Amino acid sequence: MTVTLADVAARARVSPATVSRVLNGNYPVAASTRERVLRAVDELDYVLNGPASSLAAATSDLVGILVNDIADPFFGIMAGAAQTAIGEGASGRAGGEKLAVVCNTGGSPERELTYLTLLQRQRAAAVVLTGGALEDPAHIAAMSAKLARLADAGTTVVLCGRPPMSGGAVTATLTFDNRGGGRRLAEHLIALGHRRIGYVAGPAERTTTRHRLEGHRAALAAVSAADGADGGAGTGPVPDDQERLTIHGPYDRRSGYDATLELLRRDPDLTAIVAANDTVALGACAAVRDLGLRIPEDVSVAGFDDLPFSVDAVPALTTVRLPLHEAGVRAGRLAMGKEAPPPGGIATIGAELMARESTAPPRKL
């Protein structure tokens, strides 16, 4: 029924081993022989049996890319870039390519582990984990163990936009400077004169959430110390109870909307809202407008990530740019061994402030 390597060998009048060699291209074969084999492959419309090949070779050409939310362009951009970088070297004829494949965990720790097991089962050549990690100690331990096993089995592990993990299982880590980005964004608002700033944070247990928030708080703490109790140059002092001005929620539009309504209810004198990311910021903008307030005259709003739609928001969204595409490409190359890991295995990727129209000096009270 299905044509096998032996059939090709018969038609080309060579041994199966020779066919295997020309197909894998990692062994010298006479040009004329190769020619004959390739022709037989075409004539028979032969397709290699992946499982058989993987079984015999004890490796596969599968590369897994794990993302938290495939519907979020934040992950889509990174994953697409990584997939492209991995798919390169395509000889057109589906020769030695890897099958780069993205797996959507939906942010669920169980599914994250399940996917890793599934990939382990397939003897994946490499695994790329993208985006923030969960801070639950049990889950971290489970992940470390799982990654260690994968590495043992020869799978390359790359982290992209994710904090470093202890243990030697990880080949390379590309981590975003979320803390620095958060800090610079807050400093930008402070420089404009803002002191009462609401913060719509992401899910509490995620590293990305914590780091961005820490950067934000650090900037506020610094100005608080400098200004003294009188509030310095800005509109009053930095409020003491930052917790009250922070609301956690998922990384979606709805969370931004609801949290912003609540923040402005708790403290109608807020002059700015900072959101966990651009999507959340969009929701925040909608809430501000629905309250009859203007952006940025009445309330400034800022996001994070600089997704493609952010520049088209009205007013254009002030945010922090993360080089998602570049990071994805690099992660892909790292996973394929096309690029040497950074010194120490860890590279920090900068986050750049993009000051646009959604932030401005606060209205004088």
Partner DNA sequence: CTGTTAGCGCCTTCAC
Partner DNA sequence: GTGAAGGCGCTAACAG
Which parts of this chain interact with its own copies (CB under 8 A)? 2, 45, 47-55, 60-62, 64, 69-73, 75-77, 79-80, 83-84, 87, 90, 92, 94, 97, 99-104, 106, 110-111, 113-115, 117-123, 149, 153, 252-253, 279, 282-283, 285-286, 289, 308-309, 311-314
Q: Which residue in 25, 27, 108, 308 binds DNA (CB under 7 A)?
A: 27
Least Å distance between CB 87 and its own copies? 7
Q: Which stretch binds DNA (CB under 7 A): 12-20, 90-98, 199-207, 339-347?
A: 12-20
Between CA 57 and CA 360 the distance in angstroms is 61
Contact string 55-74 vs DNA (x = CB under 7 A): xxxx----------------
Between CA 148 and CA 151 the distance in angstroms is 5
Q: Which amino acid is at 198?
A: G
Give the 3-state secondary structure percentages of the chain, helix then strand then coil, rounded to 5: 45, 15, 35
Sign of CA dihedral 205, 200, 301, 107: positive
Q: Are 158 and 119 in contact (CB under 8 A)?
A: no
C-alpha distances in Å from residue 38, one per residue of 43, 47, 177, 200, 230: 9, 12, 50, 59, 81
Between CA 360 and CA 138 the distance in angstroms is 44
| Closest to 65 in 3D by CA, of 122, 127, 149, 10 | 127
Coil, helix or strand for 57?
helix
Q: Does 15 bind DNA (CB under 7 A)?
A: yes
Least Å distance between CB 211 and its own copies? 24
Angle at 157 between CA 206 and CA 277, to 5 degrees: 30
H or E stretch at 183: helix 178-192
Between CA 69 and CA 65 the distance in angstroms is 12
Least Å distance between CB 21 and its own copies? 18
Q: Does 38 bind DNA (CB under 7 A)?
A: no
Least Å distance between CB 160 and its own copies? 15
Least Å distance between CB 46 and its own copies? 11
Between CA 350 and CA 326 the distance in angstroms is 11
> What, of its own copies, DNA, none, does residue 62 touch, CB below 5 to 8 Å by kind?
its own copies
Least Å distance between CB 241 and its own copies? 30
Q: Does 45 bind DNA (CB under 7 A)?
A: no
Q: Which of 21, 179 has the CB closer to DNA?
A: 21
Q: Which stretch binds DNA (CB under 7 A): 52-60, 138-146, 273-281, 356-364?
A: 52-60
Q: Which of 104, 348 has the CB closer to its own copies?
A: 104
> What, of its own copies, DNA, none, does residue 21 touch, CB below 5 to 8 Å by kind?
DNA
> What, of its own copies, DNA, none, does residue 270 touch, CB below 5 to 8 Å by kind?
none
> What, of its own copies, DNA, none, does residue 17 touch, CB below 5 to 8 Å by kind?
DNA
Least Å distance between CB 39 and DNA? 14
The two beta strands, 319-321 and 352-354, are antiparallel
Fill in the DSSP letter of residue 340.
P
Least Å distance between CB 40 and its own copies? 17
Q: Which stretch binds DNA (CB under 7 A): 25-33, 211-219, 273-281, 307-315?
A: 25-33
Q: Does 153 bind DNA (CB under 7 A)?
A: no
Q: Does 52 bind DNA (CB under 7 A)?
A: yes
Show the DSSP H helices in 228-277 as ranges: 253-266
315 upstream amide cis, omega within 30 of 0: yes
Instruction: Give every CB contact of residue 333 below 8 A, 6+ residues apart in sequence.
Output: 85, 339
Q: What is the separation, in whole angstroms, between the first and last Cα of the chain?
A: 82
| Closest to 94 in 3D by CA, of 40, 160, 23 | 23
> What, of its own copies, DNA, none, does residue 100 touch, CB below 5 to 8 Å by kind?
its own copies
- Residue numbers of the site for DNA (CB under 7 A)? 2, 4-6, 13-21, 23-24, 27-30, 32-34, 48-49, 52-53, 55-58
